[in-house]
Amino acid sequence: MLVPFLTALPITGAFISVSDASGRQSSLCSSDPVAARLDELQFELGEGPQREATRTGAAVLIADVAESSHARWPIFGMALRELDVAALFAIPLVLGAVTVGAVGLYRSIPGNLTDQELSTATAAASAIASVAVRHALAAAGEYGAPESSAAPAMRREIHQATGMIVVQLETTATIAYSRLFAHAFGSARSVHDVAHDVVSRRLNFETLPE
Pairing of β 25-30 and β 98-107: unpaired
C-alpha torsion sign, points 108, 112, 114, 118: positive
Q: Would you state the torsion angle of the CA atoms of residues 27, 30, 32, 33, taken in this order, to the nearest 10 degrees?
A: 0
Residue 134 Cβ vs another protein, minimum distance, rounded to whole Å: 8
Q: Could you give the dihedral angle defined by the CA atoms of residues 173, 38, 118 and 178, in that order, rounded to the nearest 10 degrees? A: -10
Least Å distance between CB 156 and another protein? Answer: 5
Cβ at position 164, least distance to another protein in Å:
4
E strand spans, 49-151: 60-62, 87-95, 98-107
Interface with another protein: number of residues (CB under 8 A): 31
Region label for 155, one of left (φ > 0), alpha (ψ between -120 and 50) or beta (otherwise):
beta
Indicate which single residue of 11, 38, 98, 194 sits in contact with another protein (rule: CB under 8 A). 98
Contact call for residue 94 and another protein (CB under 8 A): yes
Q: Are 190 and 155 in contact (CB under 8 A)?
A: no
Nearest approach, Cβ of residue 206 and another protein (Å):
10
The interface region with another protein, picked from 9-17, 42-50, 158-166, 182-190 by CB under 8 A, is: 158-166
3 near another protein, judged by CB under 8 A: no
CA angle 94, 98, 103 (to 5 degrees): 35
Nearest distance from C-beta of residue 199 to another protein, angstroms:
8
The answer to whether residue 151 forms part of the interface with another protein (CB under 8 A) is yes
Which among 95, 89, 2 is positioned nearest to 48, based on CA atoms?
Answer: 89
Q: Is 22 in the site for another protein (CB under 8 A)?
A: no
Residues between 99 and 128 with contacts to another protein, criterion CB under 8 A: 120, 123, 126-128
97 part of the interface to another protein, by CB under 8 A: yes
With binding defined as CB under 8 A, does residue 171 bind another protein? no
Residues that bind another protein (CB under 8 A): 94-98, 120, 123, 126-128, 130-131, 134, 149-151, 154, 156, 159-168, 172-173, 199
